[in-house]
């Protein structure tokens, strides 16, 4: 799964944020062994923090959100 950009995070609904929280790989995982690993890890960490903050602003995990989240 590809990391979203900051605009996509800002426009995402609670469920989409949950999908990303559950299924995005660890920051940098898709770039292990590449010259860009460190830059991608830092970039993706920033995006993941944005996702987490926004997800929590919607109330975080609930039974309904947890059940509705599946890999698209």
User: Which residue ranges make up each domain of the chain?
Assistant: 6-68
pTM score of the predicted model: 0.91
Integer CA distances (angstroms), 35 to 28, 48, 67, in order:
11, 21, 38
pLDDT, averaged across the chain: 95
Q: What per-residue confidence (pLDDT) applies to 37?
A: 97
Q: What is the pLDDT of residues 11-25, one digit of tens each?
A: 999 999 999 999 999
pLDDT digits (tens, 9 = 90+) for 16-64: 999 999 999 999 999 999 999 999 999 999 999 999 999 999 999 999 9
Tokens of 67: 């059940």
Burial class (CB in 10 A: 0-12, 13-18, 19+), 9: buried
Q: Is 70 exceeded by the pLDDT of residue 71?
A: no
Place of tokens 């990391």: 3
Is the distance from CB of 12 to CB of 20 less than 8 angstroms? yes
């Amino acid at each position: 799964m590809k990391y979203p950009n900051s605009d996509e995070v800002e426009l995402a609904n609670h469920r989409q944020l949950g999908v990303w929280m559950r299924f995005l790989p660890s920051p940098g995982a898709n770039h292990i062994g590449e010259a860009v690993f460190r830059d991608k890890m830092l970039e993706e960490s920033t995006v993941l923090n944005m996702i987490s903050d926004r997800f929590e602003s919607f109330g975080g995990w609930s039974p309904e959100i947890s059940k509705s989240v599946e890999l698209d």
